[in-house]
A = this chain, B = another copy of it.
Amino acid sequence: MPYYIGDVIKDYKKLVIRTPEEFKKTGVDVKLKTRVEAVDPGKGSVRLSDGTALPYDILVMATGAEATRLGLPGEDMEGVFFFRKLTDALQMKSFLDSKPCRKVVIIGAGYIGMEMCEAFRSLGIETTVIDILPRPVFRWDPEFAKVVLEELSKNQVTFLPSTKPLAIEKGKDYALRLVTDKGIMGADLILIGVGTKKGTELAVSLNLEMGESGAIKVDFSQRTSMENVYAVGDCCEVFHRVIGKWIYFPLGDVANKQGRTAGQNIGGAPSEFPGIVGAQAFKLFNLEVAATGLTEEEATKYGFQPVSTIIAGLPVGRPMAKGEKLGLKLIADKPTGKLLGAQAIAEKGAVSRINSLSLALWSGLTLEEIGYVDLAYAPPFGGAWDAIHIAAQTLMRKL
């Protein structure tokens, strides 16, 4: 999603949403609430849910993904929300505006769950997050999850690990109650954020070739297996430069880049999207949490021999430090010495390090180079030896 969903809840009046009429002025015909029922590639035509047919020269599949449903009894009750589209956020906003909400339970401690904690707490709502896994944001290592848990606790968010939701029922003290394998909890609002389901139904009906991941297979120009059909965003795969393979990685910035690449090719300016390295981040109250590249598990799965180190560095120069910490983990490939991935967490400076390291991954740099790479040094922004240098040199000793 190309906007910050938690922010909509906090202040949705800032959003500027263009209407179909406004789009029309720019020569774009936007049909809302209209479903494509079928595509006839032979004729070059799509059949719409309003009964009409629309001819095309080029078809772009931007069918995205849906929020995963758990199939819980009571999942469709009033007060239960999934978060995927702008309208989901607006609906939640009017729900919160229309009735008092004292307590929220969030199912799923991924990005959406974590980001929404801040939104709910800023409204003074008691907030609990449950996850079926033993720690939040599982993509990060236990050392980082520990810091995430402290930040949640500091902000009065309760986290319940290894908890399986079983059913949602009408409640007594609260409007709803969530039944789990660990007990029952009341809530006025339940948010389910447990991942995405690829929107590939139409693509399947068209017999487009799918990749190993189950998303639509595309090339670097965003072309699918069918002539004149492109795919972009959360319905298709993307090339991961570190692995050297096409994978599924449904993030908003990637979707934007794929859209631009397809648009340029369709418009006659040949263009290739060079792929990703897996950079990602979220903000949790006062913490920056970021990662790039592969985890050790992923590295092993894709045939690398990962070695890793975690350091507690400083986001600023030593004489200026006032107790801030920067946790930085690097993962490298033992035989080649190449960086494979990184994780960082800090009150400030985590995203900055991860972005520099994403560029290092992009170019396939080794730890030896990263240990001496040139970063802008001034004590308010880091040490003469930055945490990046120190971590790379520390990990080099394990090669």
Contact = CB atoms under 8 A, between A and B. Distances in A.
A170 to B, nearest CB: 35
B355 A362 contact: no
A2 B103 CA distance: 51
A376 B358 contact: yes
B7 A320 contact: yes
Interface of A: 2-4, 7-8, 14-15, 241, 251-257, 261, 273-283, 288, 290-292, 317-320, 351-352, 354-356, 358-360, 362-363, 365, 369, 372-381, 384-385
Contacts of A283: 378, 380-381
A277 B356 CA distance: 14
A311 B19 CA distance: 29
Give the 6 A-B CB pairs with smallest separation, nearest first: A359-B359, A363-B363, A4-B379, A253-B377, A281-B376, A352-B352
Given A7-B320, A363-B363, A372 B277 contact: no
A274 B378 contact: no
Contacts of A277: 374
A351 B369 contact: no
B280 A351 contact: no
Nearest to A361: B374
A360 B359 contact: yes
Given A7-B319, A358-B373, A359-B363, 19 more contacts: A2-B384, A3-B319, A4-B320, A4-B378, A4-B380, A7-B320, A253-B375, A253-B385, A256-B384, A256-B385, A273-B372, A274-B369, A276-B374, A291-B376, A351-B376, A354-B376, A355-B376, A356-B359, A359-B359
A336 B261 CA distance: 21
Given A14-B319, A372-B257, A377 B279 contact: yes
The residue among A372, A374, A377, A379 with the most chain B CB atoms within 10 A of its own CB is A374
A362 B371 CA distance: 13
A317 to B, nearest CB: 6
A239 B381 CA distance: 24
A366 B352 CA distance: 21
Contacts of A351: 352, 376, 378, 381
20 contacts: A4-B317, A4-B320, A14-B319, A253-B374, A257-B372, A261-B372, A274-B372, A279-B375, A279-B377, A280-B378, A288-B380, A292-B374, A351-B381, A354-B376, A355-B376, A358-B375, A358-B376, A359-B360, A359-B365, A362-B373
Contacts of A273: 372
A86 to B, nearest CB: 11
Contact of A377 (B251, B362, B374, B380): B251
Contact of A355 (B290, B355, B372, B380): B355
A280 B384 CA distance: 11
A288 B379 CA distance: 12
A234 to B, nearest CB: 13
Contact of A352 (B2, B241, B355): B355
Nearest to A252: B384
B7 A379 contact: yes
The residue among A365, A373, A376 with the most chain B CB atoms within 10 A of its own CB is A376
Contact of A374 (B7, B15, B278, B385): B278
Given A363-B363, A377-B280, A384 B7 contact: no
B7 A377 contact: no
Nearest to A388: B355
